[in-house]
Chains A and B, each alone.
Chain A
Amino acid sequence: MDRREFLRQISLWSAGITLGVPGFRITGEAVAAERPEAVVSQATGKDYVALVTKVLDPLGGMGKFVRPGDKVVIKPNIGWDRNPEQAANTHPLIVKTLVEQALAAGAGEIKVFDRTCNEERRCYVNSGIKDALDRIKDKKVTYFHPDPRKFIPVDIKRGKAVSRLEIYKDALEADTYINVPIAKHHGLSRLTMGIKNSMGVLGGRRGNMHHDLGQKLADLATVIRPKLTVIDATRILLRNGPQGGDLDDVKVLDTLIASADPVAADAYTTTLFDLIPEDIESTVAAYKMGLGEMNLDAIRIISA
C-alpha cells in the first residue's frame, strides 16, 4: 500500500466514515526505493544555534527535507519533568532552532509535541521547550499536548511483535517528520535514541511495548519514518536514564548527529557511549527489517 492510500484511510477513519482500521505495509521494493543514503553528519560546538546549521549542511541543509508548504512535525523528547541541564529531554534551543529553520525553508505548518511520561504541563515547562517555542512568534508553529481523541489505530502489517498500534494523527499525516531525540541511558533498551523516541507518538498503554521492546520499536519504525533524524548529544545521560536527575550522571559533549537514515543515526550515536550498534536491540531489529544501515563500515560519516 502506498503512502497516499494510507493517508486517505487515516482521514476517513478519523472522520468516522470507515470502521476499517488503516493498515500500513511497505513491500521490499518500496523499502529499497525509499531507503535513504547511509550518510551521518556529526558536528561539535558550543553555539547550539550554529551547531544545527553546521550539522545539517553536509546533508544539504533543512531545505533538502522541508519543501515549501509542507506539514512538518518536529518530535523532540519532552518526556520528563526535568530541566535542560539534567539531560532527560531534548535541548530547547535545538528544538527552537530546528523549528526556525523549517520555517525559513517555507514550512506551511509546524507541530511540536510529545506524549510525556510525567505530568504533561510540567514536562513542557520544566524542559524549557514551552518557553523556547513561545519565543517564536509565528502562527504556523504550534505546540500542544496530544489530544486523546486523535490517536488512530493502525495495522502494522509488517510487524513481527505488534500488529496494531495507536498512533497520533498528526504524526501520520506529516509531510516531513523530523525526529529530535536526546541520546541517553535506558535501563531496558540500554540507550534511547531516534527509534525509541518515536514512542512519543503512541497512544494506549505504552508499557506493553516493553515486552520485546527492540522488535516492537522496529515495527513502529515501519510506519513512523522520519525524513530527518537529529540526535541531541549536547549532553548525554550515562546512568539512571531515561530521566536521570543527578548532574553527575550527565556528560557534556556539545555534539549533534543528523541523518536521513534513522538506523544509521542511532548506530553511530551508540558509539558515543562506548557501545557498538549490535548492543542495541532496536537498531538490530530495524536493520534486519531493512529500515536502514547499521554497519559502521557501510555508513559514510561526515564530521562537519
Chain B
Amino acid sequence: MTGGKKIPHFYWRRLCQIFCFVLFSFLFIKTDYSGADEIAYAVNLLFRIDPLLAATASLAARTFITLMLPALFTLLFTFVLGRFFCGWVCPLGALLDGGHRLVPPVGGKDGVYRNTKYYLLAFLLVAAWFGLPAAGYLDPFSILVRGLTLAVYPAFNALNTTFFTFTYQHGPDWLNSMTEPVYAFLKYTILPFDQKYYDLALLSLFILISVILLERVERRFFCRNLCPLGAMLAVTARFSLLRGIGGSKCGKCRNCREVCRMGAIDEERKISRSDCNLCLDCVAVCPGRKISFAFAGRSEARTPFNLSRRALVSAIGAGVILPFFLKGRSMAVNPDPFLIRPPGALPEDEFLGRCVRCGECMKVCIGNGLQPTFFEAGIEGLFSPKLRGRTGYCEFNCTLCGQVCPTGAIRKLALQEKQRTRIGHAWFDKNRCLPYASGIPCIVCEEHCPTPEKAIKFREAVVLDDNGTEVVLKQPYLVDSLCIGCGICETKCPLPGASAVRVTSAGESRDPDSIIPTTGGTGYLGG
C-alpha cells in the first residue's frame, strides 16, 4: 500500500492524535469566561460526540437529548471506518499512547479481561434506564476532563505560581526581567485566570492516574478492557466497512502481534474489527507488507462475540436491580440540605440521570462555587456539581454553567431567568453572627448581597458588647422572598471557619415541595 517514499501511515495517525489533543486542550482552556457573557467556542464538543454519554443520558431522560446529536456522527463514522476514534481522536487514548513509555509493562495474560467492557456497557445502559446513573464514572472523557479540572490544572497553576513567586521575591532584578515576562505570557495563554480549589481533587487524580498506571499490565488496558465507550464503538465496528486485512503464512514472524496496542491480532494474524483502533503500526512493521486496510465486502465472516451469557445476564440483572436499592435510603425522602444544585439544574432525579460528571460546569464556574459532591447525593451522585458557598459563590450576572453542560442537566438560562432562579436560601446563625453574638459591627453579607433589592437587610439595635458597653449596631436579617441562594454572603462572611450565614437548598425553584413557610401560612390549612 505504501510507495517507497511515502510518509508511513502511522505518522498521520500520530499527527492526528496530537492535533486532537491540542484541540481538546484548547477547548479545555477556553472553558472559561472570555470577556463576553456567551461562550464563543463549542467547549463541550468532546462530550457531545460521545455516544455512550448520549445513550445513557437519553435513556435516563427517556427522551433523545438533541444536544447530543453529534454523537450519532461518531457512530456513523465508526460504522464506516471502524474503531478509528480510539486510535486517532480520543484524547485519553492519546495520553495513554504518549505516556506509555513512562510506564513500563509488567506483562500478563493477554485478553483475559477483554470482555469486561461489554458487561460494563450493558450494565450502564440498563442501569441508566432504571435510575442509576453511573456512566460518568467510566466514561473516558469524564475521567479525563474531571481529573484535569479538579486536580491537574489547579496543581499546575500552583506549581507555576510558587515558582514565579519565588523568583519574584528572592531573585535579583536581572532574573526577574526574564522570568516575569514568561509568567505573564503563561498567564495570558495556558494558566487559569486564578487559583481554583476543589473537593475530591485527589480522588479524581487517583482515578486518572490509575487508568494510566494500568498501562503496566497491558498497553491500552483501559481501552481494551474497561472503556464502555470503547465497547460501544467496538460493537459498531464489528460491522465497519473499513477493516484491516491480516497476513497469513507468515511463518515465525509475530511483529504485528507484538506491536498491536489493542491486542487485536490473533494467532492466524486475523485482525479483529472490534478491537483494532486503526493505529496502523502493524502495517509499518510487517516485513512482508502483508497487512493492509481496505473497504472490503461485508461478506467476510465476523469472529463470534464470545461473551459469557451468564456474565452478561448478571450485568443486566445488576442494572435492573441495583437502582431499586437507591430508593430505600433515607436521603430519598430527606435530601441533604447542603446539596445546592447550580441554577437551571433539573429536578434531582432527572438531573442525576443526565449529569455525566464531566466537570465542565465546575471548570467554567468563575466563582469557584461549584464543587463535586462526594456522597451527599448518594453513591450515584459522586462528582455531580453542587454549590459550596464557603469556597465560592454563584455570580449574579453569570450564566456559564448552563452554557457548557453538554446534556442539559443544567438548563441554559437567559440572564433574567437565571437571576430569578432560587437555588437555595441563606440562614443566619445568630449564635455566631458578629452583630448578634458579639456586639461587633459587620454586615459584610449585606454589602455583597447582589439582588437589586437586597435580600439581606438590617435593623439597628442597641446591644451590650463583651465589655458591657452599650453599642448601636446593625443586625442583618433575611427577606425570604428575595433570597436566591447565590451564596456570596456565605463566601464573604469574615468569620474564620464556618460562615455565620449559610445557604441550604430550602426554597429551591426546581422542587415545588421545597417551600419556605411564610406568615401567609404554608397552604395546609389555607388550601
Chain A residues at the B interface, C-beta cutoff of 8 Å: 14-16, 81, 117-122, 125-126, 130, 149, 186-188, 205, 207-208, 210-213, 240, 242-246, 249
Beta-carbon contact of A245 and B450 below 8 Å: yes
| Nearest B-chain residue to A211, judged by Cβ | B440
* Residues of A with C-beta under 8 A to B440: 211
Beta-carbon contact of B395 and A81 below 8 Å: yes
Beta-carbon contact of A188 and B33 below 8 Å: no
| Nearest A-chain residue to B193, judged by Cβ | A121
Interface membership of B434, Cβ < 8 A: yes
* Residues of A with C-beta under 8 A to B446: 187-188
Option from A122, A130, A188, A240 in Cβ contact (under 8 Å) with B398: A122
Task: Output the least CB separation between B93 and chain A (Å).
Answer: 34
State in angstroms the CA–CA spacing of A81 and B441 once bound together: 26
Task: Output the least CB separation between A266 and chain B (Å).
Answer: 19
Interface membership of B120, Cβ < 8 A: no
Interface residues of B in 335-358 (CB under 8 A from A): none
Contact code string B185-200 (vs A, CB < 8 Å = 1, else 0) = 0000000011000000
Option from B168, B395, B447, B494 in Cβ contact (under 8 Å) with A119: B395
Interface membership of B334, Cβ < 8 A: no
State in angstroms the CA–CA spacing of A240 and B448 once bound together: 10
27 contacts between A and B (CB under 8 A): A16-B169, A81-B395, A81-B396, A117-B492, A118-B395, A119-B33, A119-B398, A121-B35, A121-B193, A125-B35, A130-B35, A149-B164, A149-B168, A188-B443, A188-B446, A205-B494, A207-B442, A207-B493, A207-B494, A208-B494, A210-B444, A240-B452, A243-B447, A243-B450, A245-B396, A245-B451, A246-B452
Beta-carbon contact of A122 and B447 below 8 Å: no
Option from A118, A125, A187, A246 in Cβ contact (under 8 Å) with B458: A187
State in angstroms the CA–CA spacing of A96 and B179 once bound together: 31
| Nearest B-chain residue to A83, judged by Cβ | B397
Option from B366, B474, B493 in Cβ contact (under 8 Å) with A187: B474
State in angstroms the CA–CA spacing of A188 and B452 once bound together: 17
State in angstroms the CA–CA spacing of A125 and B398 once bound together: 13
| Nearest B-chain residue to A144, judged by Cβ | B184
Contact code string B353-380 (vs A, CB < 8 Å = 1, else 0) = 0000000000000110000000000000
Option from A16, A117, A210, A245 in Cβ contact (under 8 Å) with B441: A210
* Residues of A with C-beta under 8 A to B327: none
Task: Output the least CB separation between A12 and chain B (Å).
Answer: 12
| Nearest B-chain residue to A186, judged by Cβ | B447
Contact code string B131-174 (vs A, CB < 8 Å = 1, else 0) = 00000000000000000000000000000000011001110010
* Contacts known (A121-B35, A210-B441, A213-B441); A188 close to B395, Cβ less than 8 A: no
Beta-carbon contact of B441 and A212 below 8 Å: yes
* Residues of B with C-beta under 8 A to A120: 193-194
* Residues of B with C-beta under 8 A to A16: 169-170
Interface residues of B in 432-456 (CB under 8 A from A): 434, 440-444, 446-448, 450-454
* Residues of B with C-beta under 8 A to A188: 441-443, 446-447, 474
Task: Output the least CB separation between B172 and chain A (Å).
Answer: 8
* Residues of B with C-beta under 8 A to A240: 452-454
Beta-carbon contact of B366 and A122 below 8 Å: yes
| Nearest A-chain residue to B448, judged by Cβ | A117
* Residues of A with C-beta under 8 A to B165: 149
Beta-carbon contact of A14 and B193 below 8 Å: no
Task: Output the least CB separation between A204 and chain B (Å).
Answer: 11
| Nearest A-chain residue to B492, judged by Cβ | A207
State in angstroms the CA–CA spacing of A170 and B5 once bound together: 61
In the A-B complex, the 4 residue pairs with the smallest Cβ-Cβ separation, listed nearest first, are A207-B494, A245-B452, A246-B452, A16-B169
* Contacts known (A188-B446, A188-B447, A207-B493); A81 close to B397, Cβ less than 8 A: yes
Task: Output the least CB separation between A9 and chain B (Å).
Answer: 15
State in angstroms the CA–CA spacing of A16 and B476 once bound together: 43
Task: Output the least CB separation between A89 and chain B (Å).
Answer: 13
Task: Output the least CB separation between B289 and chain A (Å).
Answer: 57
Interface residues of B in 480-527 (CB under 8 A from A): 492-494
* Residues of A with C-beta under 8 A to B169: 14-16, 149
* Residues of A with C-beta under 8 A to B474: 187-188
* Residues of A with C-beta under 8 A to B170: 16
Task: Output the least CB separation between B328 and chain A (Å).
Answer: 42
Task: Output the least CB separation between A208 and chain B (Å).
Answer: 5
State in angstroms the CA–CA spacing of A88 and B443 once bound together: 18
* Residues of B with C-beta under 8 A to A212: 441
Task: Output the least CB separation between A133 and chain B (Å).
Answer: 13
Task: Output the least CB separation between B373 and chain A (Å).
Answer: 23
* Residues of B with C-beta under 8 A to A117: 447-448, 492
State in angstroms the CA–CA spacing of A243 and B451 once bound together: 9
